[in-house]
Amino acid sequence: GAGVSQSPRYKVAKRGQDVALRCDPISGHVSLFWYQQALGQGPEFLTYFQNEAQLDKSGLPSDRFFAERPEGSVSTLKIQRTQQEDSAVYLCASSSRLAGGSAKNNEQFFGPGTRLTVL
Amino acid sequence: DAKTTQPTSMDCAEGRAANLPCNHSTISGNEYVYWYRQIHSQGPQYIIHGLKNNETNEMASLIITEDRKSSTLILPHATLRDTAVYYCIVHGSGNTGKLIFGQGTTLQVKP
């Protein structure tokens, strides 16, 4: 089956514009994660969904960032009034592990990411 | 989750074994050691994980010391396509499963 897909792959936005980034996880995966990766850095956690419930949004840097997964499959990360410091690669990952479960089976499958450049 | 320490960069000759170390001296009993790698312009890719026993799969081997305070990822016959950033992550149970990445080790495989 297909892996995790993300769209668009590249997005250029003018400062102040709103953007929406899409993630299609592996079919049947209950868990979905968003990460932000600045240039030269490791990915940093943004938010986590189990099915349609957003169980952890502790990594969202400001209230301009909003994520949803209304039907428990596709997810959208929205950034309002983009700023230059939002420029980064946004990665989506999915897994079959439930929150609170064993760490024995936490293999996450990542998409290719969306590279956002804010001018 | 416990913190990990990895060298910033390493070189390896093509065809030779690449041994990537990771220190995790504060690891607790129920935490697993996971390894991911990220090839340029791609998302991270899972490699292998283990608790206390050594593990091997088609990609790599993972050697965990008896006190579990450090581990080594071994790529037995490195190829140019193994050039990537390798992340060692310690991860426990009972949480959302979010991964905490450090800076990783940039492995350069040279011909």
pLDDT > 80? residue B1? no
Residue A114 CA to residue A22 CA, distance in Å, equals: 9
The dihedral of CA B103, B77, A95, A67: what is its sign? positive
User: Which residue in chain B is spatially nearest to A111 when comparing CA positions?
Assistant: B43
The predicted model gives B79-97 an average pLDDT of 90
Tokens 């293999």, residue located: A107
Residues 35-94 (B) with a CB less than 8 A from some CB of A: 41-46, 49, 51, 85, 87, 91-94
Cα-Cα-Cα-Cα torsion A101, A102, A105, A106, nearest 10 degrees, comes to 70
The predicted model gives B38-66 an average pLDDT of 95
Percent of chain B with pLDDT over 90: 84
Q: How many Cβ atoms from other residues are within 10 Å of residue A43's Cβ?
A: 27
User: What is the pLDDT confidence band of residue A101, given thresholds at 50, 70 and 90?
Assistant: confident
- Angle at the Cα of A68 (from A65 to A73), degrees rounded to 5? 145
Chain B environment of A106 (Cβ under 8 Å): 32, 34, 49, 91, 97
Q: Is the Cβ pair B98, A33 closer than 8 Å?
A: yes
User: What rounded mean pLDDT belongs to chain A?
Assistant: 95
Q: Is the Cβ pair A103, B104 closer than 8 Å?
A: no
Q: Does residue B98 sit at the A interface (CB-CB below 8 Å)?
A: yes
Residue A48 contacts residue A32 (beta carbons within 8 Å) = yes
User: What rounded mean pLDDT belongs to chain B?
Assistant: 94
Residue A24 contacts residue B82 (beta carbons within 8 Å) = no
The predicted model gives B19-46 an average pLDDT of 94
pLDDT > 90? residue B53? no
